Amino acid sequence: MNIPSLKDQVSPEEWQLRVDLAAAYRLVDLYGWSDLVFTHISARVPGPEHHFLINPYGLMFDEITASSLVKVDGQCNKVMDSPFPVNPAGFNIHSAVHEVREDVGCVMHTHTVAGVAVSAQRDGVLPLSQQSTFVLGSLAYHDYEGVAFREDEKPRLQADLGDKRFLMLRNHGLLVASRTIADAFLNMYLFESTCRIQLAAQSGGAALTEVDPGIMAGVSRASKVQTGGQGGNFVWPALIRKLDRVDPSYKT
């Protein structure tokens, strides 16, 4: 695809955000979390305007580049020319989070088989793994209301999310609300791993051992120790090196 570069048309800060967000889309595809063109990752652009970057609707995740990302305002109006549309249902979910969470710089939403399967289970995420303890420490649920294109759903989604980082959309999928793109990717990796492990454990047919509830109290400190206090930034450089070995064209 011949997409003109926007590097000289945006600030250095926005360009770096575009590169990181395009990388996140490519990594989601690389790890098998994409659903054709039907999920989204959004990132808040630095500045007082509250603009956001989101994927060009219709492109596969392995096609997305820094210059193809679409910049929109809070009402889903494009603020830079782009030949690509934006998915209104996808933006509705993301804008709902960004409207009320100033601490959130990136929202990532997936429809993986494991994520949707666990979202359909009445008890949701169970404390069956080390990964699940990190998720359960900041997890909320939102009931399914159909394809999320109605404005009146936003207040309910916002209320359900509250100040949590992980949101299970019942019968729909997974969402993480994170400070940075790197944090969002790491949080989704933990969320997705939690669901895959839960399904694998349940498929064995044997009685399951749950994590002692007392352990949950130390999860926040354990998470900081695990990443040296860096969160997603601890693994992001290695993920970028991995992606660059596969295909560095996301940077264009």
Q: What pLDDT is stored for residue 26 in this prediction?
A: 98
The predicted pLDDT at position 76 comes to 83
- CA gap 197, 177 in Å, rounded: 22
Is-contact 241 190, C-beta < 8 A?
Answer: no
**Rounded average pLDDT per 10-residue block, the chain, 252 residues:** 91 97 98 95 92 95 97 90 84 92 96 98 97 94 90 94 97 97 97 98 95 79 62 92 97 96
Q: What is the pLDDT of residue 222?
A: 58
C-alpha torsion angle, residues 182, 187, 189, 195 (rounded to 10):
-170
User: Which pTM does this prediction carry?
Assistant: 0.93
